Amino acid sequence: MSGAVYGFAALASLAAGALGVHGLLGGTWTLAVPWLLPLGGLELAMDRLAGLFIAIVALTALPVSWYAIAYDRDARGGRGAYLAFLGAMIVVPLAANAMTFLVAWELMSLASWLLVAHQREAARAAWVYAVMTHAGFACLLIGMLWLTAATGTMAFADWRAAVPGLDPTTRHVVWALLALGFAGKAGVIPLHVWLPLAHPAAPSHVSALMSGVMVKLGVYGLVRVSLDWLGVGPPWWGVVILVVGTCSAVIGVLYALVDHDLKRLLAFHTIENVGIILIGLGAALVFQPVGAPELAALALVAALYHTVNHAAFKALLFLGAGSVLHATGTRNMEEMGGLARRMPWTAACFLVGSIAIAGLPPLNGFVSEWLTFQALLQNLSVARPALNLAFALALAGLALTAGLAAACFVKAFGISFLGLPRSEEARHAHEAPAAMRAAMVALAAACVGLGVGATLVIPALAAVAADLTRGAAVPIAVFGGVTVRVSDDFASVSTLTVAGALAAALLLLAVGVRLVGSTARARVGDTWGCGRILQTARMEYTATAFSSPFKRVFDFFYRPRRRLDLDVHPESRFFVRSLAYESATRSIFDDWLYAPLMAGLRHTTATARALQSGSANLYLAYILAALLLMLVLG
Amino acid sequence: MIEIVIGGLVQILAVALGAPLVVGLTRLLKARLVGRRGPSPGQPYRDLVKLLGKTPVVSSTTSWIFTFTPYLLAATMLVAALVVPVLTSRPALGFAGNAILLMALFLLGTFFLALAGLDAGSAFGGMGASREVAVAALAEPTVIVAIFALALRADTIDLGALVERLGRAPSLALNPAHLLALAAFFIVMLAETGRLPVDNPATHLELTMIHEAMVLEYSGRYLALVEWASAMKLLLFMTLLANLFVPWGVPASAAPAALALGAAVLALKLAVLCVALALLETAVAKLRLFRVPELLAGSFALALLSVMAVFLVP
């Protein structure tokens, strides 16, 4: 039964993927069904940007649905919500008027909420998710209705035409509202609080879609509103996005470093990667109005490329985490270890995902981060020192993020998959079934392909970027079929060459070492234990210990709280009977933003309760007062 | 075409064979500075040959990562040797990437080495891995911003083109802001290659090791590859420093005569750098691990100042 549903989802994804690729390559069409929805009816329109995001959604959903056939075999329902979720995500980029968009958007949120709420232990996660997603929806609703009122139309195509005549204040307010709503869905700091709760709580295949794809629709919205619906905005829109993106990238990875729940760690990396995407988008929004549309197009290509890449490697990593969860029953890295020997396929795929997300060559994460760097590095053409300083700090932030992400995935892969098993469950872990392995291998192949085949992907993305920057010449040229050149001779990269050179060097070394040195097989012995005979998992470095240098370096941010309870023998304090150690970090966003906000909200609602006394006479008086007020105002 | 291939091969051989000499020379100089006779500069070669001939011992807890890593590490250095302008400013794979690719290649090696450190399941390996990635991550922003400072002045980020343009315009290379970037880059070089005051390559004292703790489980040919790769990394970083900040005498062609000239000039620059490194390492003590981030933050500030100098002083 569930197999049939997921099989259908996979087939539908394949079809939608073909549709998306057709749109990405330039196919356009529109579809209107006026009777289906009130106020404007269902209107769909395909363009390159929509095609790109549909392709991302569908081509990620294809392996994920395939994986779910084996993974979600005995689920307690939620398959209908899965289909609705998938369908809504495919309709969102196609929506051509505000009504269609908002209905599809809300359907997507509700379906994913159901999938989270379905899990028994996820009550709080579901609640926070519902609140945050509806706060975002309210912003979108107000923004879109405002724009509709100002332009007199709900159709996006008419917005484009009407916006140049709009009063600037309206434009800024609408942009702020819509950007806030979309940024909330994208999980941008400080609107991220729902993301590390909701994404890990959902079943792993749903987590893969939520993290890999759903947050991307927030990015889609930001691109649409900032470059399409509202035309070219002032540079400060871009600066806001750039700063928010840099903060999200650095803070996301900092949280991931100290989190030892494998799925939550991945969720924090989603925040980081959305930050990297927004760095590219923000740079584009700064370049566009200051007279450098080519650089805007370059930055946009970088941002879109990272969007595609993140979908591939984040889905892969979540599926890998799902396989580990399936095999060991835990998400806690401190109870894993040694899985590389027990689950070689999962480990290899997770390693590919780790290298890709850490931005290491020659895989896909490297290409898009490299492009982002090139876009940022050319900011001298913007001759304003304040903007240049913002760019320099974004560069530094991006570099720090790349370094910390590599460190974090050393932890994620090394602690989970290497060394000795840290629990009985990890010792008896088993490899994932064939369907799950096939899905992971497909996504791993996509990570490799998007990396070494960058020269094939970039022209398609450049066409999208050219559309969005009103036909700017994208300063990226493919040279000799393998090299990507940016801004003539400013920089060039060829991942295919690097991959080939690495492979050749490996071969050369393997042969060379055999020729020069001893050919004896390695002897197998114990790990050196300072003279101890028996090595156990308790002597291994833990994830907590691994992240401790980072905790100390960034303690102003983590504000760690350590507690050590020693129960000593009454006779001598040198004999410890039991020991409890706790080390927790505190979230500055919970303490300084959400806690006061919630306290204020509670206070306001408590005060407002005075209105609701329960007396029918008083309620009648309210109605009368309201009627009189309306008459007077009318 | 044939010239480029030969030039590339010569450059790879120069890096691969010259790297142990740089390590040996620095060790000899350090020994002489503290009044010891010291080993001959050729000692690292003998060590490598000896290690290659020995049967390695591999822990029973390890996976394929452990034995694969030394090969990958050495391979990243060999590829990097074709990207860095060593003997000529037009290296064979210069088109395949720039400074950012180079840093990412080094980070790829560090990534795998840290994984291998965790693979044997000993506390030392984990400790070294954790510290090494912390230092590498914190050094990353400085490198990028320092490179950015250079790229701003030369309007390119291609390493070879940077060397050529800076070499043609002495006013760029002798700019005080350029010296700030040099200082920043030098500190990062010390951190990335595990030299004093960040890490001590000569110690095996448990609590202070970084790099050595991570590779503690390696032996035989695997250890030889790891040590050789570390030597190549040091050589490549020194070359980068020498050619970017003293950009003269780097020929723009791969003709035999030009390569010979490039090799001679580079040897001179590296000898000076070895002396500087030896002097520094005998003069300073190792920093406490948790003071290292302060040093790196200082180097980042220098790099950022160098960038701001471009914007504020036209």
Residue A629 pLDDT = 94
Q: How far is B171 from chain A (nearest CA, A)?
A: 19
Q: Do A498 and B130 touch (CB under 8 A)?
A: no
Looking at residue B123, its pLDDT comes to 85
Residue B274 tokens read as 């070895």
Three-state SS at A92: helix
Q: What is the pLDDT of residue A79?
A: 85
Of the partner residues A498, A506, A529, the one whose CB lies closest to the CB of residue B71: A506
Comparison of pLDDT for A583 and A627, the residue scoring more: A627
Please report the pLDDT score of residue B206 as a whole number.
Answer: 66
Region B142-153: mean pLDDT is 86
From start to end of A119-206, where are the E strands? none
> Which pLDDT score, from 0 to 100, does residue B149 have?
86
Higher-confidence residue of B314 and B203: namely: B203
ipTM attached to this prediction: 0.95
Amino acid B313: pLDDT: 65
pLDDT over 70 at B45, yes or no:
yes
Strand partners, A33: A42
Average pLDDT over residues A603-629: 89
**Percent of chain A surpassing pLDDT 90:** 54
The DSSP letter of residue B96 is G
Interface membership of B205 toward A (CB under 8 Å): no
- Domain coordinates in residue numbering, chain B: 2-55+73-94+139-204+223-312
Question: Which pLDDT band, with edges at 50, 70 and 90, does B122 fall under?
Answer: confident
For residues A124-146, give the mean pLDDT: 92
Q: CA angle A279-A318-A260, nearest 5°? A: 85
B162 touches chain A (CB under 8 A): no
pLDDT attached to residue A1:
62
Mutate to test the interface with B, among A381, A541, A558 (most CBs of B within 10 A): A541
Contact by Cβ (8 Å): A73, A3: yes
The residue with tokens 């590339």 is: B8
In terms of CA atoms, which chain A residue is nearest residue B67?
Answer: A522
- Between CA A632 and CA B298 the distance in angstroms is 67
Is the pLDDT at A63 greater than 90? The verdict is: yes
pLDDT of residue B161: 87
Residue A424 clears pLDDT 70, i.e. is over it: yes
Nearest to B118 among A380, A415, A491 (CB): A415
Give yes or no for residue B314 having a pLDDT over 60: no
> What is the pTM assigned to this prediction?
0.94
* Mean pLDDT across A316-342: 91
- Distance between CA atoms of A108 and A311, rounded to whole angstroms? 17
Inform me whether the C-beta atom of residue B233 falls under 8 Å from chain A C-beta atoms.
Answer: no
Q: Does A181 or A78 have the greater pLDDT score? A: A181
Taking only the tens place, the pLDDT of each residue in A186-220 is 999 888 889 998 888 888 999 999 999 999 999 99
A406 and B110 in contact by Cβ < 8 A? Answer: yes
Write the pLDDT tens digit of every residue in A22-53: 999 988 888 888 888 777 788 999 999 999 99
Domain ranges of chain A: 232-512, 561-634
In the DSSP assignment, the letter for residue A35 is: T
B251 vs B242, residue with greater confidence: B242
Answer whether A549 sits within 8 Å of B134, measured CB to CB: yes
Name A71's Cβ contacts closer than 8 Å, sequence gap at least 6: A203, A204, A205, A322, A326, A436
Out of A80-89, A143-152, B189-198, B204-213, least confident range:
B204-213
Report percent pLDDT > 70 for chain A: 99
Report the chain B residue with the minimal C-alpha distance to residue A483: B96
Pairing of strands A561-568, A491-493: unpaired
DSSP for A323-380, please give it: HHHHHHS--BGGG---HHHH-HHHHHHHHHHHHHHTT-TTSHHHHHHHHHHHHHHTGG
Examine the pLDDT at A604 and tell me if it is beyond 90.
Answer: yes
Query: Number of Cβ pairs closer than 8 Å across A and B?
Result: 275
Q: Which residues of A102-137 are buried (b: 16+ CB within 10 A; e: fewer)?
A: bbbbbbbbbbbbbbbbbbeebeebbbbbbebbbebb
pLDDT at residue A20 in the model: 93
Mean pLDDT of B175-184: 86
Instruction: Report the pLDDT value the prediction gives residue B291, as an integer from 0 to 100.
Output: 86
pLDDT (tens digit per residue) in A453-474:
999 999 999 999 998 888 788 8
% of chain B exceeding 70 in pLDDT = 98
Question: Which of the four pLDDT bands, split at 50, 70 and 90, describes residue A75?
Answer: low
H-helix or E-strand containing A584?
A: strand A576-584
Q: Over the stretch A274-322, which tens digit does the pLDDT of each residue have?
A: 999 999 999 999 998 888 889 999 999 999 999 999 999 999 999 999 9
Position A13 scores a pLDDT of 93
> Omega before A190 cis (within 30°)?
yes
Q: What is the pLDDT of residues A359-374, one digit of tens each?
A: 998 899 999 999 999 9
Chain B interface, mutation test: which of A364, A384, A553, A554, most B Cβ atoms within 10 Å? A553
Helix residue spans in A477-613 (DSSP H)? 495-516, 543-553, 555-558, 588-589, 595-608
Contact between A523 and B58 (Cβ < 8 Å): yes
